[in-house]
Amino acid sequence: MFPLSRFLAVVVFAATSLPAHAQWIASGRWGTETNWRYIVPGTWMVLRQDNTNQPVSIHAEGANHVGRIELWCDPETQASALRFDAYRGAALRQPAASTAETVTEPVIFDIDGQTFEHQFTYDPTHRLWTASGVLDAPFLDAFSWGTRLQLRNSAGDEITSYRLNGSSQAREALRRTCQF
């Protein structure tokens, strides 16, 4: 049997041994091409620059690696935004890059029954959804205490869902950086 203290030591070592510029490099992989580790979907990772006056972002992959989400804030401008990519499902309309069509979709964020409505805008060239102004105190409070974040389209169909493992630490990173 592997003792709990030893397990926690391994987890702490793995978390601190990643490079400062870690990111998603493949499904389930967080780090760099030469130094990465597997991250369970729904585990929130914090990416902070060395300078505390720089933007901070938090990231997670959806259930079964369906969709990656990034929430970030900039302390200088107090701007916040969301990026949603790596989604190949049918619950959001995704026109081909050749159409250059701008698409906006209403999206419902459901955190344990508490809902927040936002608009996603689709960039077909990069296959990327974005939203601005998503971070506010009610959303972040629900995010830090919740157990599951579900994204649904306007018809109520699930786009993907996220466990909220590490969400309170991720929320704290946003609070420290941007005073949300």
Examine residue 98 and state whether it is found in any structural domain, yes or no: yes
Rounded Cα distance between 132 and 118, Å, is 9
Contact 177, 48 (CB under 8 A): yes
> With pLDDT > 70 as the criterion, what percentage of the chain qualifies?
78
Examine residue 127 and state whether it is found in any structural domain, yes or no: yes
Examine residue 8 and state whether it is found in any structural domain, yes or no: no
Contact 149, 158 (CB under 8 A): no
Examine residue 12 and state whether it is found in any structural domain, yes or no: no
Rounded Cα distance between 67 and 69, Å, is 7
Host domain of residue 33? 21-178
Domain count, the chain: 1
166 Ramachandran zone, left/alpha/beta (phi>0; psi -120 to 50): left
Examine residue 6 and state whether it is found in any structural domain, yes or no: no
Query: Does residue 112 carry a pLDDT above 90?
Result: yes
Domain harbouring 134, CATH code = 2.60.40.1880
Q: For residue 1, what are its two tokens?
A: 């049997």
Mean pLDDT of the 108-133 span: 93
Query: Does residue 145 carry a pLDDT above 90?
Result: yes
Examine residue 107 and state whether it is found in any structural domain, yes or no: yes
Examine residue 104 and state whether it is found in any structural domain, yes or no: yes
Query: Does residue 2 carry a pLDDT above 50?
Result: no
Q: Is the pTM of this model over 0.85?
A: no
User: How does pLDDT run across 70-104, given as a tens digit for each residue?
Assistant: 999 998 888 899 999 889 889 998 877 677 677 89
| HEC profile of the chain | CCCHHHHHHHHHHHHHCCCCCCEEEECCEEECCCCEEECCCCECEEEECCCCCCCEEEEEECHHHCCEEEEEEECCCCEEEEEEECCCCCCCCCCCHHHCCCEEEEEEEEECCEEEEEEEEEECCCCEEEEECCCCHHHHHHHHHCCEEEEEECCCCEEEEEECECHHHHHHHHHHHHCC
- The mean of the pLDDT values for the chain is 80
Query: Does residue 165 carry a pLDDT above 60?
Result: yes
What is the structure's pLDDT at 19? 40
Examine residue 7 and state whether it is found in any structural domain, yes or no: no
Among 26-30, 126-130, 141-145, the least confident range: 26-30
User: How does pLDDT run across 41-56, given as a tens digit for each residue?
Assistant: 888 888 875 556 778 8
What is the structure's pLDDT at 15? 39
